[in-house]
Structure 1
Amino acid sequence: MTEYDLIIIGGGPAGLAAAVSAFDHGITEILILERDGELGGILNQCIHNGFGLHTFKEELTGPEYADRFIRQVKERNIPYKLNTMVLDISVEEPDLSAGGKVPVKTVTVMNRTDGLAVFRTKTVILAMGCRERPRGALNIPGYRPAGIYSAGTAQRLVNMEGFMPGKEIVILGSGDIGLIMARRMTLEGAKVKVVAELMPYSGGLQRNIVQCLDDFGIPLKLSHTVIDIDGKERLKGVTLAQVDENRKPIPGTEEYIPCDTLLLSVGLIPENELSGKLGVQMAPVTNGPYVNESLETSVSGVFACGNVLHVHDLVDYVSQEATNAGRYAAEYIIQTSTLSESAVPILAKGGVRYTVPQAIRVSHMEDSLTVRFRVGAVYRNCRIGIYLNGRPLRSIRRPKLAPGEMEQVVLKREELLLAEQKTGTPLSSITIQVEPEEG
């Protein structure tokens, strides 16, 4: 049975950055497992530009961005296995009599070359990414005709396979993939008739709304959804209706739109089936693992980063997070740190839906820690309040907060320790919430 120090599950942008970081911090026995036939993950089909501004200080396409990290992996001779499906991860308690210090993980995989293979490793980084929410989750009445695709599937067909899904397009959902595909289909000669969004706000970045819809004259209808699908063999059209504050269709607002293609951009789901089987504690809002400041899950020596942890806006943020995860995994291997210290929970309140990380061990913190979060509605002229044990630490003004834009605050280790000294009580909670602008 082959043994490694670190196995990374997923060869997309998160897995690649984590591998490079772990190697650069002294870990050489690394293996990347990727179920697709090539490294790079979703970036291979994202041929539009806009990647790399934070990481490389230049604008790249998705394949170019992925290639930068693939080259770094190959330069370091980090081994990887393609077309390899991970079937199971299990944890064995350390054999203390034999000098074992950390739980050993057993990873079971399958591919055409090795058949069924089992590897042992000290640490695992979960970097499986996410998948699109399918039509079945929407409960839209109607038959199942040809012409209904998830936006990501259509993106792959157009950008990689060279197929055009249709000529008259309706897009349901205003996530970033849907917005980008509205532009892409227009550039390929299709007519995008409308982008409909169930919520009263867009789920994508403001820059994508401007560049992909406004610049091409594509209408965005908020508080609208598809209530019927027309067509048996091939899609003929869809019926849109406006929805009320409870997201229920309003009678009398129905509008029939002829089309031959419906693209669905209705949310992303982190791929955490393996995480659940492993016994990792999951965060209900993100559908990703519950992690501490080191991106370590509730299972000692198992780390998570990228879209498997929570859905990101920018791949640059994925790479930053994965770089940290690789470094923390290397420190775990070298120092055999554990979760023995109780972590201080970060509470999301007052309009904040979730935070990542969800807990902090102050003694394990670096000088500063970036906490990322999303809000649940659109807020204007507001403040982000940070509280330690219910006492205000600081307040940050924001002209606008929106669910489609990830926000972040920076916590400094020094200020957390100083707060404990001033009050004479141990830190028991950190709260992040949205507050109205005073005055």
Structure 2
Amino acid sequence: MRTLKYDVVVIGGGPAGLAAALKAREKAEKVAVLERNDELGGILNQCIHSGFGLHVFKEELTGPEYAQRYVDMVKETDISCYLNTMVINVTEDKHVIAMSEDGMLVFEAASIVLAMGCRERTRGQIRIPGTRPAGVFTAGLAQRYVNLENFKPGSRVVILGSGDIGLIMARRLTLEGIKVVGVYELMPYANGLYRNIKNCLDDFGIPLHLSTTVTKIVGSKRVQAVEVSAVDENLKPIPGTEEIIPCDTVLLSIGLIPENELSKKAGIELNPITNGPKVDNALETSVKGIFACGNVLHVHDLVDQVTKEAEDAGMYAAEYAAEQKSAEAEISVVPEGLVRYTVPTKIASGRTPVTKIKFRVGRPVKSAKIRITSGDQVIFESKKAKKFVPSIMENVNLTAAQLADVQNEIKVTLV
């Protein structure tokens, strides 16, 4: 067993981890990235479609191109990258225990950045009745098979859920000559970005069935069909609406879950809505000196947003490593009404020059304004009403002056 000391240890070598490490290195002398795979870049390596980098690089890139730019930037520094290194524990005193090809490693860190990303929700978590035949995949697994392994998942596909990965795979499979019968979504609205619905479904004539779900998978050795049913306002299947759809493959695009087993081991308090850590405006978790960013914190729409958030986490982690102190969180951030969750959940006054409030709504809203209040005081209200959808994360920046008179909490709502 070897013990290594670093100022900042970043867990995860995807887009969040690389951006956090690069920013941390600007202020910290010794920075390490721990990655369980044999290469850096994370999930972007299998996302061969374009649409990345418009905000960060001001040009359109594929996922591998975006990842490679950060890999190249890291290689130009003295940041230590440990590949094939699986972190198995993180302690409250900021010791990171990992297994690598060289055996067990213990990293003693002054601060830690959690950037482990997220994983896909599986069939078992939504309990679809039926047998367990071959041909049921998560959308991300099918993406890896097609884009990296050159495997064909099937010939006739039904996609359950309208998450962005599923929409993108509907187009990808169609381009490979595979028939996509349709996309079936439990909710009365699509969960993916509008541009993906337009570019991946509408442009290829792939139907999107809202308020409809798969109620049974038919088949023994291989999927032969699925039973789909319309659902009511309580999302319960409506008897008599069942329809059998012949297919040999089912892709599940039913949501993402932050990878927070390590967060739990470190004793970090989690947000029950996002399943990610609760953080303050410096992205510090409830355990001092441990920060979180990217999809391990909450699921983002765009990798560009992940990068910018990760840069903040890396900067504040480096500052903590140098000063070994945290500001006490004084102001609670409370979502109200149609606002489902906020990041951060607490604000430490004076810790950041600008407090970035991010939130999502729980359902589509045709027209509303964002209002942030403290008691009877309105500290922010957007000038114009606009449309809100769950698939798009909203952002509001509050200055120190706007928060100067706030004592206990602020509420984020739509009016």
TM score, norm. by length of structure 2: 0.98
| 1:381-439 residue CA offsets vs partner (Å, 9 max, x unmatched) | 2111111234222322332111111111111111221xx1xxxxx5211111012xxxx
Q: Which residue of 1 aligns with 2:412?
A: 432
Which whole-Å CA distance do the structure 2 matches of 1:7 and 1:381 have between them?
43
Q: Which residue of 1 aligns with 2:120?
A: 132
Q: Which residue of 2 aligns with 1:87?
A: 88
For 2:99, the aligned partner's letter is: M
Gap change, CA 1:333 and 1:59, over 3 Å in 2: same
For 2:295, the aligned partner's letter is: N
* 1:386 and 2:372 correspond: yes
Which whole-Å CA distance do the structure 1 matches of 2:386 and 2:372 have between them?
17
| 1:319-378 residue CA offsets vs partner (Å, 9 max, x unmatched) | 000001111111112222314x24201110010000111111121121x22211100011
Which whole-Å CA distance do the structure 2 matches of 1:194 and 1:56 have between them?
35
For 1:360, the aligned partner's letter is: I
* 1:344 and 2:344 correspond: no
Which whole-Å CA distance do the structure 2 matches of 1:156 and 1:342 have between them?
41
Which whole-Å CA distance do the structure 2 matches of 1:23 and 1:390 have between them?
43
Which whole-Å CA distance do the structure 2 matches of 1:331 and 1:29 have between them?
13
Q: Which residue of 1 aligns with 2:45?
A: 44
Q: Which residue of 2 aligns with 1:423?
A: none
Aligned pairs for 1:198-213 (under 5 A) are: 198-213=186-201
For 2:28, the aligned partner's letter is: I
Whether the 8 Å CA contact 2:329–2:346 is kept in 1: the answer is no
| 1:170-217 residue CA offsets vs partner (Å, 9 max, x unmatched) | 000000001100011011111111100001111111111111111111
For 1:122, the aligned partner's letter is: A
Q: Which residue of 2 aligns with 1:19?
A: 21
Which whole-Å CA distance do the structure 2 matches of 1:327 and 1:124 have between them?
11
For 2:229, the aligned partner's letter is: A
* 1:254 and 2:246 correspond: no
For 1:197, the aligned partner's letter is: E
Which structure 1 residue ranges, 5 or more long, are not aligned?
A: 93-104, 421-425
Q: 1:152 aligns with which of 132, 140, 164?
A: 140
Which whole-Å CA distance do the structure 2 matches of 1:145 and 1:296 have between them?
44
Which structure 2 residue ranges, 5 or more long, are not aligned?
A: none
Q: Which residue of 1 aligns with 2:62?
A: 61
Aligned pairs for 1:338-377 (under 5 A) are: 338-339=326-327, 341-366=328-353, 368-377=354-363
* 1:268 and 2:256 correspond: yes
Q: Which residue of 1 aligns with 2:96?
A: 107
Q: Secondary structure at the match of 2:180?
A: strand
Which whole-Å CA distance do the structure 2 matches of 1:141 and 1:230 have between them?
9
Whether the 8 Å CA contact 2:119–2:257 is kept in 1: the answer is yes
Which whole-Å CA distance do the structure 2 matches of 1:179 and 1:324 have between them?
30
Which whole-Å CA distance do the structure 2 matches of 1:336 and 1:60 have between them?
39
Which whole-Å CA distance do the structure 1 matches of 2:367 and 2:266 have between them?
43
TM score, norm. by length of structure 1: 0.92
Shift of 1:156: 0.2
Gap change, CA 1:130 and 1:392, over 3 Å in 2: same
Q: Secondary structure at the match of 2:287?
A: coil
Which whole-Å CA distance do the structure 2 matches of 1:117 and 1:407 have between them?
40
Whether the 8 Å CA contact 1:389–1:428 is kept in 2: the answer is no
Q: Which residue of 1 aligns with 2:274?
A: 286
Which whole-Å CA distance do the structure 2 matches of 1:369 and 1:65 have between them?
27
Which whole-Å CA distance do the structure 2 matches of 1:41 and 1:374 have between them?
25
Whether the 8 Å CA contact 1:390–1:431 is kept in 2: the answer is no
Q: 2:172 aligns with which of 166, 181, 184?
A: 184
| 1:215-236 residue CA offsets vs partner (Å, 9 max, x unmatched) | 1111000110000111100111
Which whole-Å CA distance do the structure 1 matches of 2:184 and 2:45 have between them?
27
For 1:329, the aligned partner's letter is: A
Q: Which residue of 2 aligns with 1:28?
A: 29
Structural RMSD (CA): 1.0
Shift of 1:116: 1.4
Q: Secondary structure at the match of 1:288?
A: coil
For 2:89, the aligned partner's letter is: D
Q: Which residue of 1 aligns with 2:306?
A: 318
Q: Which residue of 2 aligns with 1:407?
A: 394
Q: Which residue of 2 aligns with 1:395?
A: 381
For 1:33, the aligned partner's letter is: L
Which whole-Å CA distance do the structure 2 matches of 1:319 and 1:431 have between them?
27
For 2:97, the aligned partner's letter is: T
Q: Which residue of 2 aligns with 1:241?
A: 229
Which whole-Å CA distance do the structure 1 matches of 2:339 and 2:393 have between them?
11
Q: 2:8 aligns with which of 6, 9, 13?
A: 6
Q: Secondary structure at the match of 1:362?
A: coil
| 1:145-183 residue CA offsets vs partner (Å, 9 max, x unmatched) | 111000000000000000010111100000000110001
Shift of 1:269: 0.4
| 1:68-122 residue CA offsets vs partner (Å, 9 max, x unmatched) | 1001100012111111110111133xxxxxxxxxxxx21111022x211212111
Whether the 8 Å CA contact 2:88–2:98 is kept in 1: the answer is yes
Which whole-Å CA distance do the structure 2 matches of 1:165 and 1:398 have between them?
44
